A = this chain, B = another copy of it.
Amino acid sequence: MRNSRDDGPAALVRLVATGQAESRAELARLSGLAASSVSLRVEQLIEAGLFAEGGAGVSRGGRRPRRLRLARAAGVFLVADLGARHARLAVVDLAGTPLALSDLACDISVGPEPTLTAVVDGLRRLAGEHGLADVPVRGVGVGLPGPVDPATGQVVSPSRMPGWNDFPVREFTAGHAGTPALVENDANLMAVGEHRASWPDLDNVMVIKLGSGIGCGVIVDGRLHRGRGAAGDISHVRIRSEATVDCSCGHPDCLEAHASGAALAASLNAQGIAVETPAQIVDLVTDGVPQATSAVRNAGRLIGDVLTALVNFFNPDALVIGGSLSNAEPLAATIRGAIYERCLPLATRNLRIATSRAGRDASILGAGHLLLDESGEWIDQTLQR
């Protein structure tokens, strides 16, 4: 696990927030600083109201450590994970742990300004309802179902977000909330959340999000790989198939056109089985409806074939299958089988394939972690008073 993106006091805050360190001694070991320097800085962090001392810890054969934790006044992050017709809102502490959760119905197609205004207002209300109005908000995180340019914080050519193209989401959100803002693709957030929560010691992880669409986030060397904003796209790879289906992107036989939740639903509807959401597909599979199982198996084979090439190329330590469709067991099983059958032994030798452990709030978690990673600035400022 890579730590210390930068150093300075923020590194100490990160270590405590993520639970890696609970005492001055652990901070010294993990940060590489001298014990005396750690003591000094911790003193300052306590004075600034970011850390608090929380009684004595468990002895490891000597004097008991004086346990450190984040002070309540250290602050919170406001986080929203937007879907097409729905947003998941959360107030999380600096560690990313949700303190309050709620759901908000909101149609993303009404455009960015009303959507983002409603989301930020909803977040503030949520914080107030849980008695957190007096706690400083250190940042806002927004997950979106489309590509985000990391340089500008703008959405770029999203396929299912009419009116959002080139809208400066980060700027607008930061302005409206009055805090720093983080804007990121939802699959990327999920990848970060899954990685930090479940596989913190692995350096290279791929997370695929199977829902209505097909998304993918990539952790390289412990950090999110963004590329120019398009990284992780696997949905428009051309697949080998008998029937030809045209994709919304204009090319024939994209993976998404054959194997996404939306494609599966369309295919089942054509067979006279009424479904709308991925969750309903999962239910059908669980109920043993043969057409559903067969469709899901077929999708798994297609997805597995595509992943084969990517696993050989990227050689990850783990491949995590998440998203609402991932609860359909035959799907994961088929993907797993395709990869083990067709990939190089060298690439699968140390590869773990697992379904999501962090669950549906993985994205929330990931946003918290990314916001913490970018917290160097305000931490430094808070200390200088």
CB neighbours of A346 from chain B (8 A): 147, 156-157, 228-230, 233
Q: How far is the CA of A157 from the CA of B345 in the complex (A)?
A: 9
CB neighbours of A313 from chain B (8 A): 216, 218, 231-234, 237, 310, 313-314
CB neighbours of A233 from chain B (8 A): 312-313, 315, 344, 346-347
How many residues of A sit at the interface, in one of the four size bands? Answer: 35 or more
CB neighbours of A230 from chain B (8 A): 312, 315, 344, 346-347
CB pair A308–B237 under 8 Å, yes or no, is yes
Contact A229/B344 with A221-B220, A221-B221, A305-B238 known, Cβ cut-off 8 Å: no
CB pair B229–A315 under 8 Å, yes or no, is yes
Task: Report copies per complex.
Answer: 2
CB pair B308–A238 under 8 Å, yes or no, is yes
Interface residues of A in 210-229 (CB under 8 A from B): 216, 218, 220-221, 223, 225-229
Q: How far is the CB of A265 from chain B (nearest CB, A)?
A: 24
Q: A37 at interface (Cβ–Cβ under 8 A)?
A: no
Q: How far is the CA of A229 from the CA of B350 in the complex (A)?
A: 11
A interface with B by C-beta (< 8 Å):
147, 156-157, 204, 216, 218, 220-221, 223, 225-234, 236-238, 240, 249, 251, 305-306, 308-310, 312-317, 342, 344-347, 349-350
Given A220-B220, A237-B309, A249-B344, 9 other A-B residues pairs in contact with their CB atoms under 8 A: A216-B313, A227-B316, A228-B350, A233-B312, A233-B346, A236-B312, A237-B308, A240-B240, A306-B309
